Amino acid sequence: MDLRIGEVISQSFAMVGRRFGPLLGLWAVYLALQIAMAVVFFTVIGGSFALAGVMGDSPFAAMGVGAILMIVLFYVAYLLLSFATSVSLTHQASPLHSPALTQSFGAGLRSMLTLFGLLVVFFVGYFAVTLILTLLVGALSRAGDAAAFIGVAASLVLILYLLCRLAVVFPIIAVEGERNPLSAIARSWRLTSGNAMRIFVAMLVFFVLLVAAVGVLFLIFGGSFAAMASNANGPGDFGAVMGGMAIFFIAFLVISALAAMISSSFMASLHAGLAPARETIATFE
């Protein structure tokens, strides 16, 4: 079906307004999980360094294979938890159903194995596409600067095309409950067929609106910070420093939360615009 860009954009912001509470709750829960995981990780790593110091070894001696492996596992786990956050928010923001907060949270956790498989597939695909495009641009560069420019431009177009065709992979996993990463990719390819340009325009319009919204928030918080700084009693004013830090922290949390919720709502609305409720339900009957 043809994608209606205006409907997708308006529905993206409307769903955030309708389900603001559950969306904010999900974001806060996942933020707490990420903070807890980071605390555990840095506690273990810090303990390893401290133990190495007590034993008289260099702190970097603690960075053995085990520590390096733990860093890699932490990074992968953090990435998967970030993806699960997006899946839960997308599940909650979808106009195709009306889930409870616990259902959306469970959808995110249940998708982690699928997300890991998707991460592996994208990782392999990224290097394969990069290798092919690098060889192509390198070959064209031998024919002159004009040919090299054409090669780079064609590569950029190809990358944007692939991003548009794979734009609803996360909503398919989140809303439709698809657990096979390859099947999710294949379904995204089918749903976006004939709509790549519309998806690109929708993404472009949404990005501009999101940047404008973030800019307004920056002006609001920046104005508060400037007002506080103007009332400070010199550079050593402790209250002004702490107030500035508090405003910065609150601004970071507000902007991060709104950006995550609105972006996930956009992906959910994009999926809904390509896969009506009856088609989504029929897929898993």
Residue-averaged pLDDT of the chain: 82
Confidence bin at 87 (pLDDT 50/70/90): very high
Q: Rounded distance, CA 12 to CA 198, Å?
A: 16
Q: Rounded distance, CA 78 to CA 253, Å?
A: 18
Q: Tell me, what's the pLDDT at 226?
A: 61
Is residue 13 assigned to a domain?
yes
Q: Is pLDDT of 154 > 80?
A: yes
Q: Tell me, what's the pLDDT at 10?
A: 92
Is residue 271 assigned to a domain?
yes
More confident residue, 135 or 176: 176
Is residue 71 assigned to a domain?
yes
Confidence bin at 284 (pLDDT 50/70/90): very low
Confidence bin at 124 (pLDDT 50/70/90): very high
Q: Is pLDDT of 281 > 80?
A: no
Shortest CA distance to 182 belongs to which of 109, 110, 122, 106?
Answer: 122
The predicted model gives 271-277 an average pLDDT of: 81
Is residue 57 assigned to a domain?
yes
Q: Is pLDDT of 161 > 90?
A: yes
H/E stretch holding 27: helix 20-54
Q: Tell me, what's the pLDDT at 27?
A: 95
Is residue 224 assigned to a domain?
yes
Confidence bin at 100 (pLDDT 50/70/90): very high
Is residue 140 assigned to a domain?
no
How many folded domains does the chain comprise?
A: 1
Confidence bin at 101 (pLDDT 50/70/90): very high
In this structure, which long-range contacts are made by residues 206-211, counting pairs with CB atoms below 8 Å and at least 24 apart in sequence? 206/9, 206/12, 206/266, 209/9, 210/259, 210/262, 210/263
DSSP string, 1-15: ----HHHHHHHHHHH
Containing structural domain, residue 26? 5-117+196-283
Task: Give the model confidence (pLDDT) of 211-261 as tens digits.
Answer: 888 888 777 766 666 665 555 555 555 565 566 667 677 778 888 899 999
The predicted model gives 157-173 an average pLDDT of: 92
The predicted model gives 194-223 an average pLDDT of: 85
Q: Tell me, what's the pLDDT at 272?
A: 92
Is residue 44 assigned to a domain?
yes
Q: Rounded distance, CA 60 to CA 194, Å?
A: 54
Q: Tell me, what's the pLDDT at 76?
A: 85
More confident residue, 281 or 221: 221
Is residue 176 assigned to a domain?
no
Q: Tell me, what's the pLDDT at 130?
A: 85
77 phi/psi in degrees, rounded to 5: -65, -40
The predicted model gives 167-192 an average pLDDT of: 93
